[in-house]
Structure 1
Amino acid sequence: MKLGKRHWALMGALMLLCCLVMPQWASAHAYIVQASPGENELVATAPERLTLEFNESLQTAFFDIKITGPDGTQADDGNVHVDEARPHILETGLRTGLGNGTYAVNWKAVSADGHPIQGAYVFHIGEPSGAPAGLADLTSGSGQVGGPLKWILSLTDWIQYLALSVILGTLALLLFRIAPASMAREPLEVPRSYRVLWISYGAASVAALISLPLNTLYESGVSIGEFSWALMGSALKLTSFGQIWMVQMLIVMLLAVTILSGYDRDRSLRIRIWSSYGSLVLVLGWLFTHAMTGHPAAAEQRALAIAMDFVHLIGAAFWIGALTAMAVCLPPLADKLPSAVRGEVYWTAIRRFTAWGIGAVAALVATGIYSSLIILPAPILTSLFTTAYGLVLIAKVVLLVVMLVLAWRHARMARTGSGNRLAGSLKAELIAGAVVLALAAVLTHLSPGQPAAVGPYKEVQTMDDGTTITLQVSPNRTGENQFKVDVKKPDGSTVNDLEQITLSLTHLDMDMGIYEITIPKNDTGVYEAEEYISMPGRWNIKVHLLTRSLDSLDAEFEIDTANP
């Protein structure tokens, strides 16, 4: 269908507004920006407390810090808390009389966007003593956790997205007169609409109901055997998801009343129509609760990010839901007509839908660009192709393009009025839409800032005199890694007279100080060390070599470390 100038102007204005209000990127998952004592820090005397400062606020439930001493005993005093005045601070006290040695810190928390995170690192009192007892049992690194539960939660979100879309689309078909008015005496008499509303309502309600215990397990990190009503009570009281879930349950009950009232033939048509508009408002409210959870909740401009995500959800839900309603409800209307004019029912509805669909597409494009730019870490193009979040986002965009192509085809068919039934490609458009909603649900539980697995690292740098320095890091993921340095002379022979080999690691995405690794000298020319990398992301490694003749060699490398 040909777009008029005002339609292009509307789409352009929305995207321009999006660009004008675009904030700088803010991570959608919490991470440590400063720790005291810090990563691998050596302190002269035992500190009174350990403090972890995150880039965003934490939720006041399901957090913990455990500190293990050199002999494997507990070194913290158990008083772990989130600072009330500074909710981005997690801290605990340490026991008195701690001796010298290496201490392991194992922490967990729930970020503002509702995703559980955890990590581990070591610090030293007096002199390092090697890995503390039980360190191998600790979770190393820092990042999102959850395992299979996050995929089950993605499924419940998808069911809600799909069911709410169908309810929204069906109500729009009825109330906005997308269905030809001549085919029904009143809007609510469209065949199958009542059944479609109740099936969708039941699916969305069940999915929302079971999401509370599932999310409690997900955020708390406990096993099913440790699950309790008290734990779920804590989720309701102390987490943003729990509070939003209670709002969802209120909407569930009210929505049942308004749907029943809308089809109660003992009431006047005016009351029934207004009840259906009430159902429409409640569905929008339900979608808004989904916009309040997940990545937008952690953005710097939280209100704007949530509003954009809400508009994005509405655009997608209307598009996919209205198509579903037309595919289900229009055939019974058309079958009552002679075959020669049967197609007009479909093409009239599609022409009316296209006018609304232009606005939905404009909203999807503008808000999609906005959300991607505030969630994906810079550089954006790199994040698109190196993170699971970016790859899923690309798949979602590709499917949206497929839907647009199919929608353009259907609009052309509607304009020419060819055929007497809905095109088979409409089913393809619906299937693509259902997959788009599934990918949207998956994105809610994916970390946008975690790099994909990159494998072992190896790079060679050549000095001015022709000497080559090779650095290898394997497996190049958080946890224990093997660092190997090879040095060769210009003639290819191995340099085996190194007196000092030092690696200085600096995280490029957050302030963690400098982590130094000293590799023991030997006469074999093979210089290796086993050390921990505590955080995923980009690290700068400065290699400093000192020969027995006091000549120094220096090189810098940049590695991109992944989660295990």
Structure 2
Amino acid sequence: MRKSALFIIALMAGLLLPAAPASAHAGLQRTDPPSGSIVAQAPRQVTLYFTEAVTPVPGQLRIIGPDGKRADRGEPSVGGSQVSIPLREGAGRGTYLVSYRIISDDSHPVSGGFAFSIEAPSTTAPGVLGGSGAEVDPVVSALLPISRYLGYVGLLLVVGPVLLMIGLWPTRLSRPGKLVWTGVGLLAGGTVLALYLQAPYVTGGALFGASGADLREVLSSRFGFTGLARLAVLAAAVPLLRRVLAAKNTKSDQIILGVLGTVAALTWPLAGHPSASPAPPLTVAVDLVHLVAMAVWLGGLVGLALHLLPRGTDGELRALMPVWSRWAGWAVTALVVAGVAQALIEVGTLPALFNTRYGQLLIVKAVLLAGVLGMASVARRKVLTGEPKVRRMVFGELAVTAVILAVTAFLVQQTPARTEAALPSASANLPFSATMNNSLFKLQVELDPAAVGNNTMHMYAFTPDGKPIKVLEWQVTVAMPSRDIAPIEVAVLQLTDDHAVGELTLPTPGTWELRFTLRVSDIDQATVSQTVQIK
């Protein structure tokens, strides 16, 4: 039995090694001013709109001005999924970089940045910044799914064996105390580890870089409250578990344990995806059913594999296995129904199922579950035909379900497909920005949207040391030598001495060449060029 237990533990531990980086679960939908835009006058504030309610990470919402100094003032305001950062008064001409790090409603951090310009871009303006991938220390990223996995394994090692002891355990057999206390330890340890990891996960710090203030911030959040509640429930359950292991439990003990187990399982959906879904009460309830059914089924299988099947007599197994098979059937039915409901809510559409990482992991989980259900069906038929010795089949189920648990631990770290599908496409075209230099001038060009079709091009001229320069004449052409498209002249409207705008149509994707000839005096003119990839 000891070798069997070590086999299962080693298998579960081995599956944790290829930990994937955590992904953020809220997404930045749009901003005001828009990313990459040029506005005529300074806005009073910069507003970010996310796909779900968010909470700012203290001190990590910033606006950096053209001079490299902070340009935000006061505290940001938050209203659900909207965050506004006040801009300092008198913000001058140039490019401003907005950086943010917030906590999404399902306890995961989101970070990123974007740029906009007032009147004209800075001469050293960076390209438009985008993306919302949380920057997480790789060690923290690797430990996050491990902490969740430990919690899941701990839950099933408590729930399943306790249920067997209450309803099916032969009186002559000793009770699996080591198994249950291992579950208690894993559940407590996984929860404590998750609470600690949440601090560097949210702040983007190193594994041991969390401060006391960071930890207090976590413990005062919903994630911290649910984790502490789980530990409190576990502590309250310990005396009752002792009574069950000593076969001295009463009906009242069983009811209280059932309530405590339900509350403990409820802490996961309250701190995760379900609480941030479009219908939280429904998704929390569905996730709770899914989690409890998993704990009953898999925990019961562990109890069977390590204790009842190797130690029970044929007569005992013939009596208890049909009952267990019926219980397992109910649990699996609840598991599948709840899983389908979860998928419908979290995925939403068929394309999202196949085109997002969340959906792809869900498919892997479904295929593995189908394999387990096939093995369970074979085992059930053997039991019903009077063959109680199905230990090898049970170990097969455990091996595959260990993989399912690992997939689940990674799945909860992914952005739900419904959220990812609601975000602007990663392949969406962003404005193109480039700076060209020669001995006469420096030219800043912004092409929007840098896509096939109609585009608007803004051009800003500066002296080599960065001061606005008067341009007497602008000549602009676009060409695609690879397709034998000869230079096409672009009509240019001069708005100010140093600023001109042109409208151009790019009929085909590929690499286009932009050429700019600027005359800055009666005798001084020069030409610069730049290629741009159009999709």
User: Structures share a fold, TM > 0.5?
Assistant: yes
Q: Give 1:175's match in structure 2, choosing from 163, 166, 177.
A: 166
| TM-score of the two chains, using structure 1 as the length reference | 0.70
Kindly, what percent of the aligned residue pairs are identical? 27
SS in 1 for 2:26: coil
Q: Is the 8 A contact 1:67 1:103 kept in 2?
A: yes
Counterpart of 2:225?
A: 243
CA distance in 2, matches of 1:167, 1:157: 16
Q: Which letter maps to 1:361?
A: V
Q: Is the 8 A contact 1:287 1:314 kept in 2?
A: yes
1:358 aligns with 2:326: no
Aligned counterparts, 1:61-100, within 5 A: 61-62=57-58, 64-77=60-73, 79-83=74-78, 86-100=79-93
CA distance in 1, matches of 2:82, 2:276: 15
Q: Is the 8 A contact 1:350 1:410 kept in 2?
A: no
CA distance in 2, matches of 1:319, 1:33: 40
* Residues 261 and 504 (structure 1), Cα distance of their counterparts in 2 relative to 1, 3 Å cut: farther
Q: Deviations over 1:108-138 (max 9, x none)?
A: 1110011111121111111122454xx58x9
Q: Which letter maps to 1:242?
A: G
Counterpart of 1:399?
A: 368
Aligned counterparts, 1:209-248, within 5 A: 209-224=192-207, 226-237=209-220, 239-248=221-230
CA distance in 2, matches of 1:392, 1:385: 9
CA distance in 1, matches of 2:348, 2:60: 27
SS in 2 for 1:33: strand
1:429 aligns with 2:397: yes
CA distance in 1, matches of 2:263, 2:119: 57
Q: Is the 8 A contact 1:502 1:519 kept in 2?
A: no
Aligned counterparts, 1:127-206, within 5 A: 127-132=120-125, 135=126, 140-148=130-138, 149-177=140-168, 179=169, 183-184=170-171, 190-206=173-189
* Residues 235 and 406 (structure 1), Cα distance of their counterparts in 2 relative to 1, 3 Å cut: same
1:36 aligns with 2:14: no
TM-superposed deviation, 1:347: 4.1
Aligned counterparts, 1:202-351, within 5 A: 202-224=185-207, 226-237=209-220, 239-263=221-245, 269=248, 271=250, 273-331=251-309, 333-334=311-312, 337=313, 342=314, 344-351=315-322
Q: Give 1:499's match in structure 2, choosing from 470, 480, 489.
A: 489
Q: Is the 8 A contact 1:393 1:443 kept in 2?
A: yes
Q: Give 1:528's match in structure 2, choosing from 523, 526, 531.
A: 531
* Residues 152 and 82 (structure 1), Cα distance of their counterparts in 2 relative to 1, 3 Å cut: farther
CA distance in 2, matches of 1:201, 1:227: 26
TM-superposed deviation, 1:270: 5.4
CA distance in 2, matches of 1:194, 1:486: 78
1:442 aligns with 2:410: yes
1:118 aligns with 2:111: yes
CA distance in 2, matches of 1:455, 1:117: 16
SS in 1 for 2:148: helix
Q: Which letter maps to 1:364?
A: L
CA distance in 1, matches of 2:359, 2:483: 44
Counterpart of 1:385?
A: 354
CA distance in 2, matches of 1:129, 1:199: 61
Q: Deviations over 1:48-68 (max 9, x none)?
A: 221212232113544732112
Q: Is the 8 A contact 1:80 1:90 kept in 2?
A: no
Q: Is the 8 A contact 2:24 2:134 kept in 1?
A: no
Q: Deviations over 1:123-177 (max 9, x none)?
A: 1111122454xx58x9742234435323311111111111211211112212233
Q: Is the 8 A contact 2:153 2:186 kept in 1?
A: no
Structure 2: gaps of 5 or more residues: 1-22, 430-449, 453-477, 491-501, 518-526
CA distance in 1, matches of 2:30, 2:451: 28
Q: Is the 8 A contact 2:26 2:415 kept in 1?
A: no
Structure 1 window deviating more from structure 2 (364-373 vs 273-282): it is: 273-282
Q: Which letter maps to 1:250?
A: A
Q: Which letter maps to 2:214?
A: L
Q: Deviations over 1:241-276 (max 9, x none)?
A: 0111121121121121221233457xxx453x5324
Q: Is the 8 A contact 1:330 1:345 kept in 2?
A: no
Counterpart of 2:457?
A: none
Q: Is the 8 A contact 2:480 2:512 kept in 1?
A: no
Q: Is the 8 A contact 1:471 1:486 kept in 2?
A: no
CA distance in 1, matches of 2:311, 2:225: 43
Q: Deviations over 1:290-343 (max 9, x none)?
A: 111221111111111111111111121111111111112214642xx4xxxx2x
Structure 1: gaps of 5 or more residues: 1-26, 459-469, 473-484, 506-516, 531-542, 544-556, 558-564
* Residues 230 and 455 (structure 1), Cα distance of their counterparts in 2 relative to 1, 3 Å cut: closer
* Residues 328 and 303 (structure 1), Cα distance of their counterparts in 2 relative to 1, 3 Å cut: same
TM-superposed deviation, 1:31: 2.2
Tell me the number of residue pairs that the alignment of Structure 1 and Structure 2 aligns.
437
CA distance in 1, matches of 2:516, 2:394: 71
Q: Is the 8 A contact 1:63 1:109 kept in 2?
A: no
CA distance in 2, matches of 1:329, 1:503: 76
SS in 1 for 2:90: coil
CA distance in 1, matches of 2:512, 2:207: 44
SS in 2 for 1:39: coil
* Residues 259 and 50 (structure 1), Cα distance of their counterparts in 2 relative to 1, 3 Å cut: same
Q: Which letter maps to 2:171?
A: A
CA distance in 2, matches of 1:493, 1:310: 59
Q: Which letter maps to 1:232?
A: L
Q: Is the 8 A contact 1:28 1:296 kept in 2?
A: no
CA distance in 2, matches of 1:76, 1:324: 56
1:55 aligns with 2:37: no
CA distance in 2, matches of 1:486, 1:256: 76
